[in-house]
Amino acid sequence: MTTERTVERPAGRLSGPGFRRAVDSAGHTGNLGILLVVVIIVFSLLNPSIFPTALNLQSIGYAVPEVGLLALAVAITMSSGGIDLSIVATANLAALAMATTSIALLQSGAPDPTAAVAGIAVAVVVGLVCGLVNGLLVSRLRIAPILATLATMTVFTGAALVLTRGEPVYGLPDTILDLGIATIAIVPVTFWLFVLAVALLWAVMNRTGLGLRIILVGASPEAADYTGIRRSRVLLSTYATSGAVAAIAGVMMSARSASATADYGSSYLLLAITIAVLGGTNPTGGRAPIVGVGIGALVLQCISSGFNGLQISPYIYQIVQGLILVVVLVLEVRRGRLTRWIKGITTRPSRDGEALRTESR
C-alpha cells in the first residue's frame, strides 16, 4: 500500500497564478483610477456650480476615511478567504470605550491631549480584542466566518447598548473634536490619516511575512499547509488587524460626529463590502488590492455627493450601490471565484494541516 500526498505546487516568482493575480490587481486598480476621474468629470459637468467646488470636495474628504477604513477591514479578512460582518459594531464599541475613558480622565483632571491619547489607545485595544474573539471563533472553534462574525456583531452591539443605555455620549476631548475638523492644505486631517493607513496596510499586505501568509492562506489553504504555515495563527492575526482598523474607523466616526453611539453607521456594512469588492478584493481570498479599495471608497463617495448635489433621492443611491455590488459579483461568478468563497465562509475551516489530502491504494 502506498500513500500519495496531493498538494498544490507553489507558483514561480514571475509566473503562475500568483503573478497573474498581481498583474490583474494592478490593472484593476488603474481602471478604478480612470473610473474615479470619469465620475468627477461627469458630475462636474452636470452640476458645475456645486460638485467641483473646494467646499464640496472637502466634504468628500471628510466622509471617505471612516467608511474607507471599514472597507479596508473587510478586505483584509476577505483576502484570507473569510469575512468580518462585525466591523461596524466593533467600531462603535471601540468609539464608546474611547469616549468613556477620555471623559473619565478629563473629569479626573487629566490634560486634554493625555485624555485623548489614552482614549484612542483604549479604542484600539478594544478593537484588537474584538478581532481576536472573531479569530478564535473562526480558527480555533472552526465556526464559519459569516456565522461567527454575525454572532459577534450582535454581541458587540448589545454590549454597546448596555454601556450607554442607547444614549449618545458627548463631551469628548477637544483634541479628538479638532481631529474631526482640522485640515492641512485644505484637505481634512482625517483624509491624510486615511491615506497613511492605506500606505501602511499596503506595506503590511505586500511587503511583510504576515501579509504574504494571509494572501497564501486565502489563495490556497493546501499550499499554506504544505509550506508549514499555521493557519490558526494567521487567521488570529488577520481578524485582530481587522478589528484594530475598525476601531480607528470608530475614532474617526466619533471625531466627525462629536459623539459616540451604539448604532452609528448602520448602513456602513453593506457599503464597506461593496467598496472592498469594487476595489478588486478577491471574494475567494488570495488578493487584497489595498490601494484599489481606497480608490473604490473615493468613487462611491463621489457618486453619493454627486447625487446629493443633483437632489437625487438617497434611496436611488442605495439602489445604485446595490447594483454595483451585484454587477461586480456577477463578474466574479463569471471568473469562477464566487462559488469557492461562498463555500469557504459557510463551512467550518479545517484544522492546521487537515487540508493535506492523502490517498491510499
Residues in the chain: 361
pTM of the predicted protein model: 0.85
> What Rg, from alpha-carbon coordinates, does the chain have?
21
- pLDDT of 349 reads 60
Angle between helices 54-79 and 189-207 in degrees, nearest 10: 30
Residue 318 pLDDT class (50, 70, 90 cuts): confident
By the 8 A CB rule, do 295 and 42 touch? no
Q: What is the mean pLDDT of residues 169-193?
A: 95
CA distance 54 to 62: 12
Residue 1 confidence (pLDDT):
46
Total Cβ atoms within 10 A of residue 24: 16
Confidence of residue 346 (pLDDT cuts 50, 70, 90): low
Query: In degrees rounded to 5, what are phi and psi of residue 4?
Result: -115, 135
As a whole number, mean pLDDT of residues 128-153 equals 96
pLDDT band at 19 (very low <50, low <70, confident <90, very high): very low
- So what CATH class is 45-352? mainly alpha
- Widest Cα–Cα separation across the chain: 79
Residue 347 has a pLDDT of 59
Task: Place 29 in a pLDDT band, splitting at 50, 70 and 90.
Answer: confident
Mean pLDDT of 47-76: 95
Average pLDDT, the chain: 87
Q: How far is Cα 92 from Cα 77, in angstroms, rounded to an integer? A: 19
Distant-in-sequence, close-in-space partners of 350: CB < 8 Å, separation ≥ 6 = 142, 221
* pLDDT tens digits for range 182-214: 999 999 999 999 999 999 999 999 999 999 999
217 pLDDT above the threshold of 50: yes
Q: How confident is the model at residue 338 (pLDDT cuts 50, 70, 90)?
A: low
**What per-residue confidence (pLDDT) applies to 246?**
98
Residues 6+ away with beta carbon under 8 Å from 107: none
- Residue 12's pLDDT is 41
Question: Can you give the pLDDT at residue 185?
Answer: 92
- Answer whether residue 331 shows pLDDT above 80: no
Q: For residue 24, name the pLDDT band (cuts at 50, 70, 90).
A: low
- Across the range 332-343, mean pLDDT stands at 60
Residue 170: pLDDT above 50? yes
Confidence of residue 55 (pLDDT cuts 50, 70, 90): very high
How many whole angstroms separate alpha carbon 32 and alpha carbon 29? Answer: 5
More confident: 350 or 97: 97
351 falls in which pLDDT band (50, 70, 90)?
low
Residues with Cβ within 8 Å of 289's Cβ and at least 6 positions away in sequence, in order, are: 25, 26, 28, 29, 75, 279, 280, 281
In sequence order, the 6+-apart residues with CB closer than 8 A to the CB of 140 are 232
pLDDT value of position 13: 42
Q: Is the pLDDT of residue 14 over 70?
A: no
Q: Is the pLDDT of residue 99 over 70?
A: yes
Task: Name 187's bridge partners.
Answer: 184
